[in-house]
Structure 1
Amino acid sequence: MNKLTFQYDMVLDFVTKDEIHQYQTETDEHFAAIYNKTGKGNNFLGWVDLPDNTDETLISRIEATAKKMREQSEIFVIIGIGGSYLG
């Protein structure tokens, strides 16, 4: 499992280290649920495997499409739903 780190030194004016650390067990459980894709909404976690499990043919297709669009366009606008959903 990858290690997730949290830099909390900038919030110590608002909360104590003890207050932050009391959430460690719960944080570990949530991280494991996301990493193992076992929690609610696990069908929305396609981003967890990026970029490690990205198919090389997909990357090649994206690069070819990007090249074609650069050649055919002066301006390119992307409109999407936002967020991290990769359905």
Structure 2
Amino acid sequence: MLKITSVDVGTAFTNSLTKVMPMAFATAFEESDKSQKAIQKMMEKKVVKNISSKKADMATRTVTLNLKKNKDGEYKIVADDNLE
């Protein structure tokens, strides 16, 4: 087992959604792809900004990583449910 500390993605996403939702509601009845793409782009920018902020909330999780030795004798992390 090991502890991993990283940006709290849930908080970053929630903060981003809070900023974008008013615009999304304002353009909800528009059938324009342009406005939907603009909202999507804004959401992406907000998420990246919140994740990369020096003030971003951090979360620590305790996880178990499974390793498997490959044919070259190197250990690799197994992509299993423990990575979720």
Task: Work out whether the TM-score is over 0.5.
Answer: no
Which interval holds the TM-score relative to the shorter structure?
Answer: under 0.3
The alignment's TM-score, normalised by the length of structure 2, stands at: 0.27
Please identify which structure carries the higher strand content: 2
- Greater relative CO, 1 or 2 (CA 8 Å, sep 6+): 2
The alignment's TM-score, normalised by the length of structure 1, stands at: 0.26
